[in-house]
Chain A
Amino acid sequence: MHGLAFDIAHLLAGGMVIVSFMLLYQDRVYALLKVFALHSLVLALAVGWQAHIQNAPHLYVTAAIALIFKAIIIPTALYRIVRRLGIHRTLEVVGGVGRDMLAGTGLVALAILVMLPVTATADPLAREDLAFALAVILLGLLLMVVRHNAISLVIGFMSLENGLVLAAAGARGMPLAVEISVAFSVLIALIVIGVFLFRIRERFDSVDMQAMDTFREERRR
Chain B
Amino acid sequence: MTLALLLALPMVLLAAGVYAVIAARQSNSSRIVYSISLAVSTVALVAVLAYLMSGQQPETLQLPIGLPWLGAHFRLDALAAFFLMVINLGNAVASLFALGYGQHEKAPERVLPFFPAFLAGMNLVLLADDAFAFLFAWEFMSLSSWALVMAHHQESANVRAGYLYLVMACFGTLALLLAFGVLAGPSGGYDFDAIRAGHATPGLAALVLILALIGTGSKAGLVPLHVWLPLAHPAAPSHVSALMSGVMTKVAVYGFIRIVFDLLGEPVAWWWGGIVLALGGVTAVLGVLYALMQHDLKRLLAYHTVENIGIIFIGLGLALAFQGNQMYASAALALTAALFHVLNHSLFKSLLFLGTGAVLTATGERDMDHLGGLIHPMPWTALAFLIGAAAISALPPLNGFVSEWLTFQAILISPELPQWLLKFLVPAVGALLALSAALAAACFVKAFGMSFLGRPRSPVAAQARETDRYSLTAMFILAGLCIVAGILPGLVVDGLGPVVGLINGSIQLTAQHNQPWLTLVPIVDVKSSYNGLLVLLFMAISGMLAALLIHRLGSSAVRRGPAWDCGFPDASPATQYTAGSFAQPIRRVFGSVVFQARERVTMPPPGDPRPAKFEVRMRDPIWDVGYAPIAAAVVAVSTRFNYLQYLTIRRYLGLVFGALVLLLLGVVLWR
Q: Mark A134-159, 1 if CB is under 8 A from B, else 0.
A: 00001001101100100001000000
When distances are taken between beta carbons in the complex, the residues of chain A under 8 Å from B649 are 153, 209
Chain B, 641-671, contact with A by CB distance < 8 Å: what is the 0/1 string? 0010011111101101100110011011001
Smallest CB separation, A41 vs chain B (Å):
26
**In the bound complex, CA of A118 to CA of B654 (Å):** 26
A216 within 8 A of B: yes
A123 beta carbon closer than 8 Å to chain B: no
Inter-chain contact A114/B648, CB cutoff 8 Å: no
- Contact: A141 with B657, CB < 8 Å? yes
Determine whether the beta carbon of B657 is less than 8 Å from that of A110: no
Report B-chain residues with C-beta under 8 Å of the C-beta of A218: 643, 646-648, 651
Kindly list chain B residues whose C-beta atoms are within 8 Å of the C-beta of A117: 671
Task: State whether the Cβ of A91 lies closer than 8 Å to any Cβ in chain B.
Answer: no
The minimal Cβ–Cβ distance linking A218 to chain B, given in whole angstroms, is 5
Indicate whether A186 reaches chain B with its CB closer than 8 angstroms. no
Find out whether the CB atom of B648 lies under 8 angstroms from the CB atom of A209.
yes
Write the nearest CB–CB distance from A206 to chain B, whole angstroms. 14
Q: How far apart sit A83 and B103, CA to CA, in the bound complex (Å)?
A: 71
Closest Cβ–Cβ distance, residue A192 to chain B (whole Å): 15
Q: Chain A 107-148 against B: per-residue CB contact (8 Å), 1 yes, 0 no?
A: 100110110011000000000000000000010011011001
Q: In this complex, what residue of A is CB-closest to B656?
A: A141
Given contacts A114-B664, A141-B656, A142-B657, contact A216 B648 (CB under 8 A): yes
Contact: A110 with B648, CB < 8 Å? no
Tell yes or no: A205 within 8 A of B by CB.
Answer: no
| Size range of the chain B interface in the assembly | 10 to 19
Q: Which residues of B contact A212 (CB under 8 A)?
A: 648
CB of B653 within 8 A of CB of A145, answer: yes
Given known pairs A107-B661, A110-B661, A218-B646, the reply for A141 and B653 (CB within 8 Å) is yes
Chain A residues with CB under 8 Å of B643's CB are: 218, 221
CB distance from B666 to the nearest CB of A (A): 10
Q: Complex Cα distance A217/B648, Å? A: 9
Bound-state CA distance A4–B317 (Å) is 72
Shortest beta-carbon distance, B667 to chain A, in Å?
A: 6
A213 at the interface (CB under 8 A from B): yes
Cα A141 to Cα B649 with chains together (Å):
13
Q: How far is the CB of B653 from chain A (nearest CB, A)?
A: 5
A209 near B650: Cβ-Cβ < 8 Å: yes
B671 to chain A, nearest CB (A): 6
Distance in angstroms from A159 CB to nearest chain B CB is 14
Q: Which residue of A lies closest to B647 (CB)?
A: A218
Minimal beta-carbon separation of A25 from chain B (angstroms): 18
- Pair count A-B, CB < 8 A: 42
Chain A, residue nearest B671 (CB) = A117
Q: Give chain A nearest CB distance to B663 CB in angstroms.
A: 10
Chain B residues, Cβ within 8 Å of A209: 648-650
B654 and A145 contacting across the interface, CB-CB below 8 Å: yes
**Chain A contacts for B648, CB-based, 8 A:** 209, 212-213, 216, 218
A114 cross-chain contacts in B, Cβ below 8 A: 664, 667-668
List B contacts of A145 (CB < 8 A): 650, 653-654, 657
> Please, how many angstroms separate the alpha-carbon atoms of A218 and B651 in the complex?
11
B650 touches A148 (CB 8 A): yes
A110, A118, A142, A145, most chain B CB atoms within 10 A: A145
- With both beta carbons as reference points, the residue of chain A lying nearest to B666 in the complex is identified as A114
Please state if A110 and B665 are interface contacts (CB–CB under 8 Å): yes
Bound together, the chains give a CA A19 to CA B102 distance in angstroms of 73
Q: Which residue of A lies closest to B651 (CB)?
A: A218
Partner of B646, one of A107, A118, A142, A217: A217
Looking across the interface, which residue of chain B has its beta carbon closest to that of A148?
B650
Separation of A153 and B649 alpha carbons in the complex (Å): 10
Instruction: Name the CB-closest residue of A to B646.
Output: A217
Report the bound CA distance from A206 to B53 in whole Å. 80
Q: Is the CB of A110 within 8 A of B653?
A: no
Complex Cα–Cα for A18 and B660 (A): 22
In the complex where A141-B656, A142-B657, A145-B657 touch, is A110 in contact with B650 (Cβ < 8 A)?
no
Residues of chain B within 8 A of A118, CB atoms compared: 667
A144-B661 in contact given A216-B648, A217-B646, A218-B647 (Cβ < 8 Å): no
- Bound together, the chains give a CA A218 to CA B647 distance in angstroms of 6
A113 touches B668 (CB 8 A): yes
Q: Which residues of A contact B650 (CB under 8 A)?
A: 145, 148, 209
Q: Which residues of B contact A216 (CB under 8 A)?
A: 646-648
Residue of B nearest to A218 (CB): B646
A90 to B661, CA, bound (A): 31
| A212, B660: Cα distance in complex, Å | 26
Cα A213 to Cα B648 with chains together (Å) = 6
Give min CB distance, A136 to chain B, whole Å.
14
The residue on B at minimum CB distance from A110 is B664
- Point out the residues of chain B lying under 8 angstroms from A148, CB to CB: 650
Q: Would you call B646 and A110 a contact (CB within 8 A)? A: no
Which residues of A are found within 8 Å of B646, using beta-carbon distances?
216-218
CA distance A51 to B657 in the complex (A): 32
Contact with A along B631-649 (1 / 0, CB 8 A): 0000000000001001111
The complex places the Cα of A221 from the Cα of B648 at a distance, in Å, of 13
A193 to B577, CA, bound (A): 75
A105 to chain B, nearest CB (A): 13
A216 to B654, CA, bound (A): 17
- Chain B residues, CB < 8 A from A141: 653, 656-657, 660
Produce 1/0 per residue, A177-221, CB < 8 A to B. 000000000000000000000000000000001001100111001
In Å, the complex CA distance between A148 and B665 comes to 26
**A144: which B residues are within 8 A, CB to CB?**
653, 657
What's the nearest-Cβ distance from chain B to residue A176, in Å?
22
Residue ID in chain A nearest B667 by CB atoms: A114
| Chain A positions within 8 Å of B668 at CB level | 110, 113-114
Q: Which residue of chain B lies nearest to A117 when distances are taken between CB atoms in the complex?
A: B671
What's the minimum C-beta distance from A156 to chain B, rounded to whole angstroms?
9
Least CB distance from B425 to A in Å reads 51
In the complex, A218 Cα to B656 Cα: how many Å?
Answer: 19
Task: Give bound CA distance, A113 to B643, whole Å.
Answer: 35
Q: Shortest distance in angstroms between A130's beta carbon and chain B's nearest beta carbon?
A: 13
A92 CB → nearest B CB, Å: 13
Q: Distance in Å from the Cβ of B580 to the closest Cβ of chain A?
A: 52
Q: Which residues of A lie under 8 Å from residue B647 when comparing CB positions?
A: 216, 218
Interchain CA distance A213-B647 in the complex, whole Å: 9
Give chain B's interface residues, CB within 8 Å of chain A: 643, 646-651, 653-654, 656-657, 660-661, 664-665, 667-668, 671
Q: Give 19 pairs: A residue, B residue, CB < 8 Å, sorted on A.
A: A110-B668, A113-B668, A114-B667, A114-B668, A118-B667, A138-B660, A138-B661, A141-B653, A141-B656, A145-B650, A145-B653, A153-B649, A209-B648, A209-B649, A216-B646, A216-B647, A216-B648, A218-B643, A218-B646
Closest 8 pairs between A and B when the two form their complex, measured CB to CB:
A217-B646, A113-B668, A141-B657, A145-B654, A213-B648, A145-B657, A114-B664, A145-B653
Chain A positions near chain B (C-beta within 8 angstroms): 107, 110-111, 113-114, 117-118, 138, 141-142, 144-145, 148, 153, 209, 212-213, 216-218, 221
18 extra interchain contacts, Cβ-Cβ under 8 A, other than A145-B654, A218-B648? A110-B661, A110-B668, A111-B664, A114-B664, A114-B667, A117-B671, A138-B661, A141-B653, A141-B657, A142-B657, A145-B657, A148-B650, A153-B649, A209-B650, A212-B648, A216-B647, A217-B646, A218-B646
